[in-house]
Chains A and B, each alone.
Chain A
Amino acid sequence: MPITVNGMSIPLLADPRVSLLDLLREELHLSGTKKGCNQGACGACTVLVDGERIVSCLALAVQYDGRAVTTIEGLAQDDRLHPLQAAFIEHDGFQCGYCTPGQICSAVAMADEIARGVPSHVTADLDRSAMTHTRDEVRERMSGNLCRCGAHNGIVDAILEVYGTSNAKLLEAAE
């Protein structure tokens, strides 16, 4: 079975050493996904596989046979930015922009994790299935994406604008 990347069917390479990241960048020339540390520590290479976020540098492409990969190039629809892309611009969620594709892919999947009730390290009550986008939750859940420019406050603001509920805003006001 081939890998599907942004809806396109891609045959696998013969060499099993090729990471999913290198397949995207070097073979498919989808250079939006970035290579930062290449050891799973920075999150710049974050992509979605069947809607879940992973670091593509630690993924051997051959393991993702038959799976559907979405990169930053797959989020915008033609010339229309994904709402999160627009919010990152609005809130100065970047300076150099190198970590941004990973941040945005990561945040898209993070919102889905919250919607599915996946808890985090800072979730106080594990018995509650309804999760909220508080600033602390977003910061913890995005800790796998580093920004060396230090745009984290703008990044969290952008995410809260798109995914934050009025409930979350009330909780923040109470903090």
Chain B
Amino acid sequence: MLEARIPSGPIEDRWDKCRLEMRLVNPANRRKHSIIVVGSGLAGGAAAATLGQRGYHVDCFSYHDTPRRAHSIAAQGGINAAKNYRNDGDSIFRLFKDTVKGGDFRARESNVYRLAQISNNIIDQCVAQGVPFAREYGGLLDNRSFGGVQVERTFYARGQTGQQLLLGAYQALEEQVAAGRVTMHFRHELLDIVIVDGRARGIVTRDLVTGRLESHVADVVVLATGGYSNVFYLSTNAKACNCTAIWRAHRRGALLANPCFTQIHPTCIPLSSDYQSKLTLMSESLRNDGRIWVPKAKADKRAPRDIPESERDYYLERRYPSFGNLVPRDIASRAAKEACDEGYGVGPHGQGVFLDFGDAIRRLGLETVREKYGNLFDIYERITGDDAYTVPMRIYPAPHYTMGGLWVDYHLMSTIPGLFVAGEANFSDHGANRLGASALMQGLADGYFILPSVVPDYLASAPHNGVDTSHPAFRAVEAEVKGRIDKLLAIKGQRSPDSFHRELGKIMWDDCGMARSDAGLRKALARIPELREEFWHNLRLVGGDEEVNQALEKANRVSDLLELAELMCTDALDRTESCGGHFRLESQTPEGEAKRDDANFCYTAAWEWKGPAQAHALHKEALTFEHVPLAQRNYK
């Protein structure tokens, strides 16, 4: 079932070999092929723009009012590339190795190697588009360092790298819209996928303004619909981020891989009220110059500046001297949680640690620090009212990224022929933990370079008989979608969609968050179906389906999160080892580090939907490590 189509031969030649063997589509024939791209963030926007440039007819869908709103825009820190402009020992192989190791040996080597190779083309492409990366006075590109690595390979645009890269892709996309090769369908949300004769042939969407359900047909469907961190309710994701596209594809036969691999980002602004609707990230780049500490005394209520150096515990520098504050995210997050759980936490609820720029300001000067991180300090002040130039920031981990996603082969195709998955929506490159500045790299690698190579190969080989939206398969899926919306509206119970979402989030954070245990996961697995049952009997919506109805949109998304959450817990329970962001309390070293179990779990867990009342079936894709030998990660 899981044929990953990994090319043979030396790892450095595999992508070239694959491209050489791929079939092409004659330029004159390209416009006869139609491609649906769902999502217009870095992966989707870049893919739609590039496929448009090549001459295909592309329909791109977004639930936003314009592609520039996609959540890629909120990425702050930067994008990695193996340019070695610093001449500090970087290379494609080292980026590859760092990423495999950072992912705690749960990613596919061949995919990661390709990612590292393409990283350099991405920077070239973005600069050519006018992305205003940070520069040195000589006019060359500047770099900085990120967690889990010992070189400076991260390109950045102040603290708004995601915004600038997304605007680059957005502008390229709008150019294709103007040229008539891409049609943008904005304020349209995917509600299901249509499969004809075993191939993905279209989607059913809802127009979020008029409520109209529409069927769209194409030769290929690309999902670039992001991750599912919002299963935790409180996360750094935007409010609309959801799992509906991947979950609907999953229910139609696409396997979902490693759903329990979620990333909890170490540097977020702590929770401040019960009404909080989301958490805000402070870029990992802050860990370049900020030092993380807690008081050595428990429940120390003194102002941070009154605590002398000798009474501070710079716990990351103490425990991991060679990487210090720049250990990978999973390790930094867990260490913060441990400090707080043991009673060393700071702030009103004791759920926070200090991120202190006092030393950096003394060493570099206020102006340099302002130049590098000014906008992040501004965000912090706006939310907390504190000036981080004089008072250390308080930070705490928050759900941020999901490494899991739809299973794809080397061609980024899911187990449904013709359904490609890109960016955070797939599972491919980050294993059990993603390194900083790698999400932008992966989204753009998939969008600009990989999809435009692999999609034509599929088009050149697949039969594309004249299916249109009058085909019975479209009618059937449309009827199902309509039935589902009617059902949601007809419940007329007592609770709002948000109240269910909050409750689900709490269950997931408590039992499937930073630390997971057999007992906790079993408890969640008992509770989630009960909550889902209540949702379908006690949901209250106001208004109808033929108008703007944001609560209806939300309810539909929550209903899918309620199903995905259960699979996440099932996956987490099944994987009794700890690896990367997946920390099982039962599997740790004497020092409290994550302990992998390579003998039993060196595989990707790909889950198959068997029906609403059925247990999922597990398929395993064995992982082999020929180039980066399996080893316990060591950042000490």
B is bound to A: no
Chain A residues engaging chain B, CB cutoff 8 angstroms: none
